[in-house]
Structure 1
Amino acid sequence: MTQDDIYGSDEQRALLRRGRALFDILGQDPRYTYYGRTVGLATGTVRDLDHLTALARVQGNAAIALVPEAEVAALHDGLTARNLVPIAYSRWDGGAASLAAAKAIVRDLPLPAGLTMTRIDADTPSTVLASLADMALGSGVLPLAGEVLRGLLNPAVCLVAQDGEGKVVSCGASAGFAHPDHPVPGRQAYWGMLATDTAWRGRKLALILGAHAMLSMSRNHGIEAFFTGVEPGNTPSEGVCTRLMFARSVAVILGCADPRSLRSGRMTK
């Protein structure tokens, strides 16, 4: 991985480097997850508070991907007592109905005239990833590590829409997340990293690219189940999830940041 494969502020790039290195150590253990940002826990309860705290201290940020709602308050309070910054995301899950909805969207909604869709791969010029990063970071979305975006590490798909000058104006991605041996999320993929340039918003680009990304993961990697995290009150993201037949889970994604490493208290939007 080169410096050009990671983007963001100095703190965010350092965080991505630590997450990538920790994946080399823990990536074969089914308890852990990695999708191009940081290593986390696939599932957890308040009994995993010390474990989550350690992951956050090492990397600057970590999350449990599936927390029973009844456990969230105790975990939140425990993280706060350890001077970490917790953030809870609604977990949305998609499956067969989502893939059917994606097929309908791809059929009925072409990209607007003047735009082309490109899949990021090993041969994609670094200038395209830099353009993707500029657009995504401008929308508050931290791009995944380049190895994942290019499909070199996990089963993954990253799609971008480019204008006639090659500028990336929207993106969407999906990536393998948990170890396939994990009995709960091992067959799911992360789906998201949806962002659109301000000048192109309102044209359903994130919806279109997100639909294509899901179908590509199904077609090329045999993945039929997806999840994403949405901060409560993020109405546009909730609308995209609803359109793609994702369902809000009774479980929660609980993340946390170490403000000594990540002063904003947030890894991404």
Structure 2
Amino acid sequence: MQDEFFGSDDQRTLLRRGRAMAVLLAEDRHYSYYGRTVGLPGPEDGDIDRLAALATAQGSATYGDVPLDQVEAIRTSILARGLVPMIYDKWEGSRSAIAAARQVVATLSLPEDVTMLRLDASTPTGHLASLAGMALGCGVLPPCGEALRGLLRPAVCLVALDRRSNVVSCAAASAYVHADHPRYGGLAWWGMLATDQARRGQRLSVVLGAHALLDMATRFGFGDFMTGVEPGNAPSEAICARMGLSKGRSAIIGCTDPRALASGRMTK
């Protein structure tokens, strides 16, 4: 399970560095981690120099919550350090998200030829490899296998398996920061929604996403949820709205070292 890092050579290197950094900083409540790289929940948890240091050490790091009136200044500071900024809209939800997820679960189900599976320590490695191949084909980089299996912190990863045991859709959610963080301790990251092109239109990721969100609420007690959406990504915005999330008054800012990741972006 230690070797379950997926993606290109550059992406796998970043994931390994992020996992190692997470071990070093596991007890520090000022850092975020859900299976990709270690970041900062917000500027109050570390200034731009700390964010840049994390990005240089790992290849990429993220501010999870930046007020909109600070976005341009931070973007400029990232560029001035020779790093690449990526700005995402932050979508958030709490009771509305839980209510919407319950409605989806009550009214929608997976097709008869598809089975839902929750990943855990006993899940065959082949299922994770199938998940990674499908997700990467959709431009989505899966977190490391330990995170997907729920072995690092409270987390849920659900996949839809067809009759040949191929993963055709996925969704995930995870604790975002240390439980003792004064502001974000009860916040869960939610996302990694992807569906094989041949199965799109069947609402697979909507159903899986609803179950993942509810699992985080009922099994682990999380009441707040967030995800990042690239501005203008209408399909993702529609799913977020369907799930009771709304665009907030802050942004998520990624910071990437182009020497480590030439594309400047870790995932879609």
TM-score by length of 1: 0.97
The aligned amino acid for 1:2 is Q
| Corresponding position of 2:194 | 195
Question: Are 1:83 and 2:90 matched, yes or no?
Answer: no
Instruction: Return the alpha-carbon distance in structure 2 between the equivalents of residues 263 and 46 of structure 1.
Output: 27
Q: Unpaired segments of 5 or more residues in structure 1?
A: none
**TM-aligned CA deviation for residue 113 of structure 1:** 2.1
**TM-aligned CA deviation for residue 46 of structure 1:** 11
Instruction: Return the alpha-carbon distance in structure 1 between the equivalents of residues 232 and 225 of structure 2.
Output: 21
| Corresponding position of 2:2 | 2
Instruction: Return the alpha-carbon distance in structure 1 between the equivalents of residues 190 and 252 of structure 2.
Output: 14
Q: Judge conservation of contact 2:31–2:45 (CA < 8 Å) in 1.
A: no
Instruction: Return the alpha-carbon distance in structure 2 between the equivalents of residues 38 and 199 of structure 1.
Output: 31
Deviation per residue, 1:219-257 (Å, 9 max, x gap) = 111111110000001111100000111011101111111
Deviation per residue, 1:21-45 (Å, 9 max, x gap) = 0011112111100000000001116
| Corresponding position of 2:54 | 55
SS of 1:199's equivalent in the other structure is helix
| Corresponding position of 2:167 | 168
Q: What percentage of aligned pairs have identical amino acids?
A: 53
Instruction: Return the alpha-carbon distance in structure 2 between the equivalents of residues 163 and 49 of structure 1.
Output: 45
Q: Aligned in 2, Cα 1:49/1:209: closer, same or farther, shift over 3 Å?
A: same
Instruction: Return the alpha-carbon distance in structure 1 between the equivalents of residues 24 and 125 of structure 2.
Output: 27
Q: Judge conservation of contact 2:30–2:45 (CA < 8 Å) in 1.
A: no
| Corresponding position of 1:73 | 72
Instruction: Return the alpha-carbon distance in structure 2 between the equivalents of residues 87 and 39 of structure 1.
Output: 16
| Corresponding position of 1:136 | 135
| Corresponding position of 2:227 | 228
SS of 1:40's equivalent in the other structure is coil
Moved more, 77-86 or 47-56: 47-56
Question: Are 1:210 and 2:177 matched, yes or no?
Answer: no
SS of 1:27's equivalent in the other structure is coil
The aligned amino acid for 2:92 is D
TM-score by length of 2: 0.98
Q: Unpaired segments of 5 or more residues in structure 2?
A: none
